[in-house]
Amino acid sequence: MSHDSTAAPETAARKLSGRRRREIVAVVLFSGGPIFESSIPLSVFGIDRQDAGVPRYRLLVCSGEDGPLRTTGGLELTAPHNLDAISRAGTVVVPAWRSITAPPPEEALDALRRAHEEGARIVGLCTGAFVLAAAGLLDGRPATTHWMYAPTLAKRYPSVHVDPRELFVDDGDVLTSAGTAAGIDLCLHIVRTDHGNEAAGALARRLVVPPRRSGGQERYLDRSLPEEIGADPLAEVVAWALEHLHEQFDVETLAARAYMSRRTFDRRFRSLTGSAPLQWLITQRVLQAQRLLETSDYSVDEVAGRCGFRSPVALRGHFRRQLGSSPAAYRAAYRARRPGADKSSEAGVHPEGLPSGARRGAGPLGGGAPLAAENSRGQETYGAARPSLPGQRTDAERSASGRV
């Protein structure tokens, strides 16, 4: 969801009450939270970079529970403030939560609810979304979290509209991000919203990260069923689908195998996995196409047929939407990075005139992550602004589906 969601105009007009100031950012830390995610808002909002043209925020690091707070590697942290300091913040960030199955402290949840009622912007990075959901701040709202935990978030909080595809979701006064590095994307977006593109770009250059990342989490997703629903009757249907990706079938076929109506199947599938069945099926076919492009010499037309796409055109469209590259360019980029790769592929040219893998998401890292070709250019890569929206697809891309 883009930053100008339907909820944004209403929430943008909300005024801060009491002692709250817009330039004050409170970061709430809990024991057991990972240090990387916890450090992101501290670095973005807590370091004075006015010499680089980045407006200064005032940071308040708050303990969400009694300390000391233990983090990665057995380190112990002592926060200078407790939850009372949240009353001064115009933005409250929860960078992580220690367990997706454990309830957060009620005192912290009350402080977040109060902050929201008084007009503060509430931000959840990665598993911090579970804290916001427990506080009821995500009820009826779109949200995201790390793709690995999205099914659990959707199952535990069914009133939350979880979208595991997005890098971050801005719903006006409540914002959430995907895992780890996506927290940087969201924090840069906040700076961009507050102070404009120039300030966000200057900060990105200091952090040596892209000012904007296009696409979403699809390139990183492992779309097999989460372990916790492996015993559900739908697991058998999904297992069948994964074994028959080379065949042409649609969601109606899966619903029939589950002895459900299409509507019931869609609702049940989404409640268990956090994903719509059609999007899941398309993504599985694209992942299978990736594997064949990497490991076989099949033509693109043959790959399309072996992955159940009705035509090579359908494969190319879905492949580009999810990975930002054509199948041919993806294969060329993949082979160019492998020892002993065919020399003709090393000089592969993107159909739009870019070197193979130059588009974001054009190459493999695990199950479909961006190729590092862009990074190989050095730090100058991060000096130029990207024209695409920050970490989000257009409405057309988001709604693109159709038969597979």
Q: The whole model's pTM is what?
A: 0.61
Q: Is 299 helix (H, G, I), strand (E, B) or coil?
A: coil
Residue 240: how many CB atoms within 10 A of its CB? 14
Question: What is the rounded distance in angstroms from the CA atom of residue 314 to the CA atom of residue 311?
Answer: 5
- Which value, in Å, is the radius of gyration of the alpha carbons in the chain? 22
Mean pLDDT on 136-145: 94
In one-letter notation, the amino acid at residue 329 is A
Residue 104 has what pLDDT?
96
Q: What is the model's pLDDT at position 187?
A: 96
- List residues bridging with 274 in a β-sheet: none
Average pLDDT over residues 306-310: 94
Over range 25-46, report the average pLDDT: 94
The H or E element spanning position 114 is: helix 106-117
Averaged pLDDT, 185-191: 96
- Give the lowest-confidence range in 6-10, 162-166, 338-342, 357-361: 357-361
Tokens of 111: 């402080």
Which of helix, strand or coil describes residue 242? Answer: helix
pLDDT in tens, 38-80: 999 999 999 999 998 899 999 999 999 997 898 988 899 999 9
Domains of the chain by start residue, with CATH? 8-207 (3.40.50.880), 227-372 (1.10.10.60)
Higher pLDDT, 363 or 152: 152
18's torsion region: left (phi>0), alpha (psi -120 to 50) or beta? left
Q: Please check the confidence at residue 215 and state whether its pLDDT lies above 90.
A: no
Chain segment 76-135, per-residue pLDDT in tens: 999 999 999 999 999 999 999 998 889 999 999 999 999 999 999 999 999 999 999 999
pLDDT, average across residues 8-19: 62
Calpha distance 10→7 (Å, rounded): 6
Mean local confidence (pLDDT), 6-30: 75
Neighbours of 327 (CB within 10 A): 23
Helix (H) or strand (E) holding 175: strand 174-177
- Tell me what percent of the residues of the chain surpass a pLDDT of 70: 75
**pLDDT above 60: residue 235:** yes
Write the DSSP symbol of residue 51: G
CA proximity to 305, closest of 322, 288, 321, 326 = 288
